[in-house]
Amino acid sequence: MVINLILGDITKTKADAIVNAANTTLLGGGGVDGAIHRAGGITIVEECKKIIKKQGSCGVGESVITTAGNLPAKFVIHTVGPIWYGGTNNEDLLLTNAYKNCLQLAVENEVKKIAFPNISTGVYNFPKERAAKIAINSVLDFLNTSSILEEIIFVCFDKENYVIYENILNTK
């Protein structure tokens, strides 16, 4: 099992599954969510609508899985990270849940290679260093319990996040 770090666009990442930092409606938005829907095409939002019809919404920290449409992946795993309200709203636990629920869905769908964006660190404003520690620790904790996953890729869109991840991963 390896953890890799990329500076780039997750819609270009070849993996069994890529993770989307979505919102509770699953209907798309800006940031990485917008990029995934634009590049993946209409089939992704069509599946999201079916899921919403069935379950109402996707809660913060939860995740769902759909086709990846035209993306170079089999699946998109949509998760909803917490909005940062200063740290007193269970943000750390909710972000941990988001990563762990994605990994759980990945394993259930026999995903071997999964790529994550830096969930919640854009418009949801989660402090980047704090979010990176949670992302890496959640993945490492999960990997202790699962042998199916072979590769985890953290895809950083900005250099600041990339350097933060690089420094933390170097200490592990």
Q: Which residues are catalytic?
A: 33
Cβ 131 to ligand AR6 shortest distance, Å: 9
Q: Shortest gap between Cβ of 18 and ligand AR6 (angstroms)?
A: 9
Residues in Cβ contact with 7 at an 8 Å cutoff, skipping those fewer than 6 apart: 156, 157, 159, 162
Please, which residues have CB within 8 angstroms of residue 86's CB and are 6 or more apart in sequence? none
Minimum gap (Å) between residue 45 Cβ and ligand AR6: 12
Which CB atom, from 110 or from 158, has the smaller least distance to ligand AR6? 158
CB of 167 vs ligand AR6, minimal distance in Å = 16
Nearer to ligand AR6, 111 or 132 (CB): 132
When the beta carbons of 30 and 127 are compared against ligand AR6, the nearer one is 30
**For residues 127 and 146, which CB has a smaller minimum distance to ligand AR6 in the complex?**
127
Note the residues at the interface with ligand AR6 (CB under 6 A).
Answer: 9-11, 21-23, 29-33, 35, 81, 117-124, 155, 157-158, 161
